[in-house]
Structure 1
């Protein structure tokens, strides 16, 4: 009997050792896979949209911008029963479009997944702007998927001979269409689209047409710019004409004065109110 028990214990110990070895192999495999996946993502887009988003969000004055969430335009756009899928926010330079977009992004993140965004900047120009923005958008979509990288993206990386050539806009677009079609709801938000490709407006028109097509397919698209959409959109869309909100300006001024110790010590409440009203009047819907 003791010999049998010893054999069982020996077998059990060997089994446990095999399990430990298998777990170690699985761990190494996961690490190698994660490393390879990160290599694919960096090849797809070195652009890390989250960093720019955090930068814009950090400049947002607490409590401001909420008005945009309460507009009938936004409510129609976010309503799954509404046909409106393209929301375009138009406003003059400096009126806070980027800040509003950051607020919308954060609001969507509270109850949705499948959110991709990009902040265009005229100071950041590329020889392949479409590849840059589409790659960045797709990367954000992919990073939110629990199932890991789509096989189509892995295949594209392999056929590119492992980074020897960048993906083309059409290749990225194809994967994005398939991915967004598989999600219950997904959102694309682009800030300052008129700064997307300053030197080649055809690139901007091409991007606009692509976003329009995605909106027709059910993707929720939110875009900001200084001017109205060009070319005209085919999808059912809404346009918000934005001017700086008076309540937001007052909140910003009050917050700025309260954060400045040297100012708060010499300005009484009445003088602060006069300063706030003067700035609002001077802004005149900037």
Structure 2
């Protein structure tokens, strides 16, 4: 047992040291106009430590927890006080020797801070650890734990750290306490690593970005082997690569293969980059919603990809993260730039690539141009787009330009690889090889630098069943994109089902991305439908053929769901002007959503299982895009009546508030960020 006076003296002595250090730091910050954020942070940590120690002193003085009966020199709380006191004395000695003399106050104002930036941050972290330890001691359970030996405390807290339900804040605090109270370096390192992994993963999640590698792989799969190599011999590309200019703007007409070439450049840069270089890319996509494609989203994606290559999160990024976590806020555009800049300092060189800028939200392009102006001061930037001007004199003056166009040799390789997918019977026909050679020559001549045109021409030829049919079709094959789309649309119109036209109209009109499962369920809902019938749904394998190749099924790079989209931005542009069904189809979409919800409402007594109905979440967002808090759904009775009437009209990108109606409890969807996820 320890004398109560000794206990009080120990705690009071440490509290006095903390108060002295606080005063010196306060005088320093007051006397030096630009004391720096790190010193200001140290002052805040010291003030907090002083306050907690004062509370602990009061607790000991009152002896309400009977500390005198258990506060021995072997307890963790005693050892923490002794170590904290020794550290404070050391800091005071270092600071006081810089402020001695007859004019101490004047000298203090001109004092050069004796610690380097990293040292100051380490001191702050150390004092913060002591603060958390003593704060923990102020609770009844915490005090009981810290009155045990350090070995026992370490076991108790490490078990808490491994709990599956522990929050990041609790894990971080326990990690700090364990660092203070655990005497064994190897144990301390293991604890710090566990906490670091948890916090680092949370920082990556906090950025709000998803790695775009899925999108990159989708584009890469469309690339024929050994194509695109011409870009690496291009004069402008070489100048950009060799630091003649920080920005390369590669422009090409629609369908020239810009995205495919971008994937080629990304792979080459990553293959050539040493450990000290970072490469990050972002593929803009016209079919994505505007909240996914913002300057902030692009910067967050870059930061996410680069952080994945680092062994640890830069301390500056960690600091920004914790500040926002405390304030429950998100970084703005300037802070995203700051975060990326801090991350870039960890690399010898950083390459940032943005594909299809023309598919980026037009309302945000000026902001993105200003961001690129900043990025070019500390990274290398490559942008691809359709031909367009740069509305920035500063950016224009630091930008090299090159033209992207499908090269003849690449087109020949592409044609040959596609022809190799023809049926074995056709490939064994006597005239096959001659036909392939003739097709290569003609299609390359007609290509006009566009892969998309050649791809569509090959789709048409490969749907035929004999070499004779193919040769006849080759003689009259369309040589303009619009002509090709017209023929394809006419062929779809001539079919017996209107489902393909509805699919196309849905993809053109809808302002939200939709997955395969969601659209299949949506198309099964008609005015006469009395229940949701799985047998009325189009088989997934039939969707692409029935739309004659104008749609694609691919894995969404942001959600991981199987998404349905138009095959190319040019398809969207053509159908927007030439598909009559598009006009007013937003109302048809809205009616389908409300009808679907109506059917669920009438057929479901209690729970709605989202996994069984992939169209459900999409329908919720369309019917009520301003209220997406999934938890309780109020069926829109008045809205339902209004939409199902002949004269009503609802734009799908606006949404309508829910109206009163019976409540239905629903299950939380698996992909909350994915409309219509399946």
Specify if TM > 0.5.
Answer: yes
* 1:223 aligned onto 2:388: no
The counterpart of 1:49, out of the listed 194, 212, 230, is: 212
Alpha carbons 1:250, 1:276 under 8 Å: kept: yes
> Within 1, Cα distance between the matches of 2:401 and 2:264?
18
Aligned residue for 1:167, secondary structure, equals: coil
Greater mean deviation of Cα atoms: 132-141 or 232-241 = 232-241
**1:251–1:132: structure 2 CA closer, same or farther, 3 Å change rule?**
same
Aligned residue for 2:349, secondary structure, equals: coil
Alpha carbons 1:86, 1:212 under 8 Å: kept: no
Partner residue, 1:194 = 358
Structure-to-structure mapping, 1:25-36, within 5 angstroms? 26-27=189-190, 29-36=192-199
Q: Report how far residue 24 of structure 1 moved.
A: 6.5
> Within 2, Cα distance between the matches of 1:159 and 1:212?
27
> Within 2, Cα distance between the matches of 1:70 and 1:214?
25
**1:162–1:95: structure 2 CA closer, same or farther, 3 Å change rule?**
farther
Partner residue, 1:211 = 372
Q: Deviations over 1:68-98 (max 9, x none)?
A: 1111111111114x2x121111111111100
The counterpart of 1:87, out of the listed 240, 244, 248, is: 248
Q: Report how far residue 65 of structure 1 moved.
A: 0.4
Partner residue, 2:201 = 38
Structure-to-structure mapping, 1:120-199, within 5 angstroms? 120-127=284-291, 129-146=294-311, 148-161=312-325, 164-181=328-345, 183-198=347-362
Partner residue, 2:423 = 261
Partner residue, 1:277 = 441
> Within 2, Cα distance between the matches of 1:260 and 1:32?
56
> Within 1, Cα distance between the matches of 2:262 and 2:279?
13
Alpha carbons 2:316, 2:342 under 8 Å: kept: no
Partner residue, 1:69 = 232
Q: Deviations over 1:246-281 (max 9, x none)?
A: 111110010111133344233522110111122112
**1:214–1:265: structure 2 CA closer, same or farther, 3 Å change rule?**
same
In the superposition, the TM-score normalised over structure 1's length comes to: 0.83
Alpha carbons 1:212, 1:234 under 8 Å: kept: no
Q: Report how far residue 239 of structure 1 moved.
A: 0.8
Q: Report how far residue 175 of structure 1 moved.
A: 1.9
Partner residue, 1:96 = 257
Greater mean deviation of Cα atoms: 275-284 or 256-265 = 256-265
Greater mean deviation of Cα atoms: 98-107 or 227-236 = 227-236
* Greater relative contact order (Cα < 8 A, sep 6+): 1
Q: Deviations over 1:43-82 (max 9, x none)?
A: 10332122211221121110100001111111111114x2
**1:204–1:77: structure 2 CA closer, same or farther, 3 Å change rule?**
same
Greater mean deviation of Cα atoms: 154-163 or 248-257 = 154-163
Residue ranges of structure 2 left out of the alignment (5+ in a row): 1-183, 451-678
Partner residue, 1:17 = none
* 1:249 aligned onto 2:411: yes
> Within 1, Cα distance between the matches of 2:191 and 2:213?
29
Greater mean deviation of Cα atoms: 120-129 or 71-80 = 120-129
> Within 2, Cα distance between the matches of 1:41 and 1:61?
34
> Within 1, Cα distance between the matches of 2:423 and 2:186?
58
Partner residue, 2:221 = 58
Greater mean deviation of Cα atoms: 179-188 or 87-96 = 179-188
> Within 2, Cα distance between the matches of 1:24 and 1:47?
34
Larger of the two Rg values belongs to structure = 2
CA RMSD of aligned residues (A): 2.2
